[in-house]
């Protein structure tokens, strides 16, 4: 085995995790953009700065769940949306009860 092939094999998991991190950042950015547009049009009562911690923490947890090595037991196409929906539901409820908006 050559050194170059060894180093590319070692970097494959790192590249996959960087890719998932970029997906999480992109997803959070798009979510915040949609929140800003709907709030500006008057369809959504919460502004971006109120839901920023909720969106960022949900995105972080979703990328962590997707990175778990349990794909043979539980498919991440089911677990990531389920975790994201549950977290979003309870965190937005917490924002509503806090009376921040």
Which residues have CB under 8 Å from 59's CB, separation 6+?
24, 25, 27, 28, 31
Tokens representing 51 are 């839901």
- Under the phi-then-psi rule, with left for phi > 0, alpha for psi from -120 to 50, and beta for the rest, what region is 75? beta
Tokens representing 45 are 């009562």
- pTM for the full predicted model: 0.70
Provide the domain count of the chain.
Answer: 1
Q: Could you count the other beta carbons within 10 Å of the beta carbon of residue 61?
A: 16
Please check whether residue 62 is in contact with residue 18, taking contact to mean a CB–CB distance below 8 angstroms.
no
Model confidence over 41-63: pLDDT tens digits? 999 888 888 888 888 888 888 88
Model confidence over 68-79: pLDDT tens digits? 777 677 787 888
* Domain membership of residue 81 as a residue range: 3-98
């Amino acid at each position: 085995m050559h050194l170059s092939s060894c180093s590319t094999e070692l970097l494959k998991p790192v590249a996959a995790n960087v890719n998932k991190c970029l997906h999480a950042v992109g997803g959070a950015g798009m979510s915040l953009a949609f929140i800003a547009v709907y709030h500006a049009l008057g369809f959504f009562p919460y502004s971006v700065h109120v839901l920023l911690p909720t969106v960022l923490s949900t995105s972080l947890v979703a990328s962590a769940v997707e990175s778990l090595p349990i794909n043979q037991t539980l498919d991440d196409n089911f677990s990531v949306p389920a975790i994201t929906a549950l977290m979003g539901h309870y965190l937005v409820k917490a924002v509503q009860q806090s009376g921040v908006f």
